Structure 1
């Protein structure tokens, strides 16, 4: 009933606002960069976070990619020496007072997605053009928590097209260029290719694709009700055990070149009094009580 009533409300709103799209809604209602990225430093040197950040829509909602390689300042491009003090530090504001609460007391007991159980942020370490939510679980930072992410470059994996393991650097020829959205920083990778493959599969079967696969933002996107109906239809028509409703996407080959980084995390609980009062002196709008409830800190550095 919730999906049906939600679909009716969406249809009514879209009829009165003809330019409305789900993507535009999330991008407009999501936090602006300056709302969440409060302070960045590299090796202790202050950096304008948002001048180097680009908004992107993922299955987590509106996120930001911090692309330091595009900055004209050369000192930003790489860590000069190993260790925590030479890495990047980011202070984030969770803005918990802006969160809304589902009203379970009135019978709204819809299931929560896994990422709805957590306060704070998730962050991913990725190469340019990679889809954040397809590269792994990422790391978490909650309010009044400090994370330390130590990175160690592991290996470069270089494959030849003539090797026993077939690899590729281009999308399959049957994919149209407007489906790939390469102008939107989506160069070839196996994960990017598989997302397009799955989106095309669902569009063929259900005339729309679930949002999680619409990475190129060029396919008709299913509403929550349409997603449910599509998956229910595919499961009903599937005789395999266990049921399998996604394509194998065998045409998407591994990347011919990939860099594997090994990352480990450690956590600290609570910003120190000294840090809180120092930050408050630098910005009186950040009260100590507010920072304790909302601020988290990320430290990312190469260990060697």
Structure 2
């Protein structure tokens, strides 16, 4: 081919595609993210609008990928397959999402699955919210233990019995006679105080039903003349006339006279060893298996408490020790425990009401009131006592209701579990916390705030005065107001203990045999109280065992996770790995994709720079220039005094193949001479950058 032909061809196409950049004309199918087939001849990547998709191809010189763009027509709802969320939807294990990202899906199909997935998520959210509210608002549930709790593990209840009669008739007559003595006689002054107390106890405190309607007004009353004399001689504010408890101790029936015979666990005991006196809201009473008053109250030292009993009871200091565990032989002496259920192993005692000594009563009947309660509770005989009828044998079957606390609920707030663990709440006047003791202390505080004193049976310290007869009405008004408003509403801090025992008693009775002297001894002599209206009382556990209730956690953490996972799996097919997928696709995968794009972009930029350098080298050799331009360049080179000899550019252009041009371009970029050989290998041209 001559030089002119080359020039003409070059003039026809002033910017021909360099031969080094041409490829074969075979169209190669390329696939974009949307799965559509494309074809192209050129391998040069061009920048296209944002609605294009990425393509990948291979270089003829290197075995690696590069990113290319190509655009094609698509509908607006077709998702871009290269986007991260589309790939997530196509690969996730969550149900229904792949139908949103699949190509060639009609918009109605996509809307259907959007609606279905949204409804499933809303339903799952509603169910999870219900479970969460149940967990957060009521986290404690009470269930039954799967195994039995036997009676030998449960403390026997405290038994408190009170005579209906408050004051012995002989004592009342003695005080009224002594009040008529000489004014300067100390015994007379003491008698005035006793008469003052006598009227207070009999006429105002705990009236019987008939007296409330002003019937039986003369029964158990003090002679008005003697009462007026006593009232004029004493001062109502005198500390000596405020301690009603002291009066009851000496004016009421002693426990030694009330309790005649006693049995415990089938063994005979002196009743004074089992029963101790106590003052309650009903009056003076006798109690069995109860914590000594010295230990129960913080600021009380009761001289009637035996030192040995205080020492034995002091070993039991925790409410959590109510239920015996492990070896029963190592259990403490107190509180007492019944070894087996039944009447024979329980408590039995004979009581004498001494009806001849009745002066004023808290009831219109005769006999006794009996209450069973926890050993650390103050007895409320007036409200919950059982009636004990004279001349009858009574059988009181006790059923314990045990509530235990699981250790896991200790981590739940008090407001949510609604009970106190051992030692969580401390009372000011009691050493042992129970809900009943807390309410008694609460009412005592209200009484002191309103009346500046407390009732004789209420808890107190040495700085609080006892309400005498003059303050009786004030104290009674406070009690009535608290009952009307509700004690639990006023004393809201008095929650139950998480571990507690309640005793429920069922009583039956039968009359004594008649025409038979039951109390004649071996010499056919009857005891002094044999002709009295006595009663026999049996108190015992009526069943061998019971199933304790347990306060436990409704949902633990594992239960909560299992519930949430079950709901999500049911409604959406969500699992733990689905959560890992979500994190992976929108964190690690995004980062790696961006890193790969940057790497491919850098490679593309290097290739584009190489292409530009190649084109520059070809232009330098004159390929693609006009004939006049090539002639001027050759003339300038021939006139230059250069030691390097050049072949005509046309010959170089015609004889150099693509490989030589690539070598030329590479030598140009590196700014170093490069040897080009023509096809015949006869001449070599040295090209250098100007």
Q: TM-score, normalised by structure 2?
A: 0.35
The unaligned stretches of length 5 or more in structure 2 are 1-202, 205-223, 292-308, 314-331, 544-690
Aligned residues: 273
Alignment of 1:115-126 (within 5 A): 115-126=362-373
| Distance of 2:358 and 2:289 partners within structure 1 | 28
- Given candidates 389, 394, 404, the residue that maps to 1:142 is 389
- Tell me, what secondary structure is at the counterpart of 2:519? helix
Instruction: Encode CA deviations 1:58-107: one digit per residue, 9 max, x unaligned.
Output: 11111111128958996994333322222221000101111115xxxxxx
Stretch deviating more after TM superposition (219-228 or 67-76): 67-76
| Distance of 2:232 and 2:430 partners within structure 1 | 28
2:250 corresponding residue in structure 1: 28
- Tell me, what secondary structure is at the counterpart of 2:249? helix
| Distance of 1:275 and 1:85 partners within structure 2 | 23
- Tell me, what secondary structure is at the counterpart of 2:465? coil
8 Å CA contact 1:38–1:92 kept in 2: the answer is: yes
Higher relative contact order (CA 8 A, sep 6+): 1
Offset at residue 155 of structure 1 (A)? 2.5
- Tell me, what secondary structure is at the counterpart of 1:222? coil
2:30 corresponding residue in structure 1: none
Stretch deviating more after TM superposition (255-264 or 215-224): 215-224
Offset at residue 171 of structure 1 (A)? 8.0
Offset at residue 296 of structure 1 (A)? 0.7
**Does 2:529 correspond to 1:297?**
no
2:505 corresponding residue in structure 1: 263
The unaligned stretches of length 5 or more in structure 1 are 102-111
Larger % of strand: which? 1
8 Å CA contact 1:144–1:270 kept in 2: the answer is: yes
| Distance of 2:393 and 2:515 partners within structure 1 | 14
Q: Which has the larger radius of gyration?
A: 2
Larger % of helix: which? 2
2:169 corresponding residue in structure 1: none
1:166 corresponding residue in structure 2: 418
1:208 corresponding residue in structure 2: 453
Instruction: Encode CA deviations 1:226-285: one digit per residue, 9 max, x unaligned.
Output: 2324556999xx9xxx96496701122211211133321111123555562346969743
1:78 corresponding residue in structure 2: 337
1:107 corresponding residue in structure 2: none
| Distance of 1:287 and 1:230 partners within structure 2 | 39
Q: TM-score, normalised by structure 1?
A: 0.73
- Tell me, what secondary structure is at the counterpart of 2:467? coil
Offset at residue 53 of structure 1 (A)? 1.9
Offset at residue 38 of structure 1 (A)? 0.2
Alignment of 1:1-304 (within 5 A): 9=230, 12-13=233-234, 19-20=240-241, 21-67=243-289, 77-100=336-359, 115-133=362-380, 137-158=384-405, 160-161=409-410, 162=412, 164-168=416-420, 169-170=422-423, 176=428, 180-182=429-431, 187-211=432-456, 214-216=458-460, 219-229=464-474, 244=485, 248-271=490-513, 274=516, 276-278=518-520, 284-286=526-528, 288=530, 290-291=531-532, 294-304=533-543
